Amino acid sequence: MSSSESGTGRIIAEVVAEGVEIPSQRDFLLSCGCGLMQGYLFHPALPPTRMEARLRDEAIEMSTACAPEVVALFRPRSVQS
């Protein structure tokens, strides 16, 4: 969640709704103005090795469309043993 002051004394916050599993939950959140969601409705949980592979694949796809500093965020870090 990120937040900032709007200059009016009010705090503006972005919230990620977690655990969205069915379309009616998604629809409700959208009707409330929440557009950031995650959960089984969008993709089931993945084992760590599959998640790493997916992030690598997406980084390769993004490398043709994004600035290098954005792609670097998705590049796996080397693991030291």
Q: What is the pLDDT of residues 65-75, one digit of tens each?
A: 655 665 565 55
Phi-psi region of 32 (alpha: psi -120 to 50; beta: other; left: phi over 0): alpha
- Side-chain half-sphere CA neighbours of 8 within 13 A: 4
Residues whose CB is less than 8 angstroms from the CB of residue 47 and which lie 6 or more positions away in sequence, other chains included: none
Query: From CA 65, how far away is CA 74, in angstroms rounded?
Result: 14
Q: Which residues pair with 3 in a beta bridge?
A: 13
Q: What is the pLDDT of residues 34-66, one digit of tens each?
A: 889 999 998 888 888 888 888 888 776 665 665
The phi and psi torsions of 13 (rounded to 5 degrees) equal: -130, 145
